[in-house]
Amino acid sequence: MSDNIATLLEERGATHGDAAETFDLQAKLTEVYLAARLKTEPTSQRSIICQRHDATILHILGKIARIACGKYNKDDWTDIQGYAKLGDQMQSLNTYGKPIEGIIGTSTFPPSDTEQ
């Protein structure tokens, strides 16, 4: 591992807490969230179709895990506000399984200006 990455991980550990503990908590929070989502799907469907707003929720859960396991970091709270706003926008713009107009397939990236 390069020295830059090792230093970065050490700094993040000091702010966000032990990485294994944080990821364990994030994994448990994700399990609970996905189990709840599975209950909202039709009973014949045994899988979850994750949507854009689900991704924002998973990011929020990661921030919650950092808050629970680490030291106070104002950026975590600011990030949660940002992800919540984006989640609201994504869910209001998109219904399940239907891509937002102007976006190819289910990609989250609009076509570049150079594509013909």
Contacts of residue 26, defined as CB under 8 A and 6 or more positions apart, other chains included, come to 61, 62, 64, 65
Q: What is the pLDDT of residues 68-111, one digit of tens each?
A: 999 999 999 999 999 999 999 988 886 554 554 544 444 444 43
More confident residue, 41 or 99: 41
More confident residue, 44 or 30: 30
The chain-wide mean pLDDT, for the chain, equals 81
Model confidence at 39, pLDDT cuts 50, 70, 90, reads confident
User: Residue ranges per domain, the chain?
Assistant: 3-93
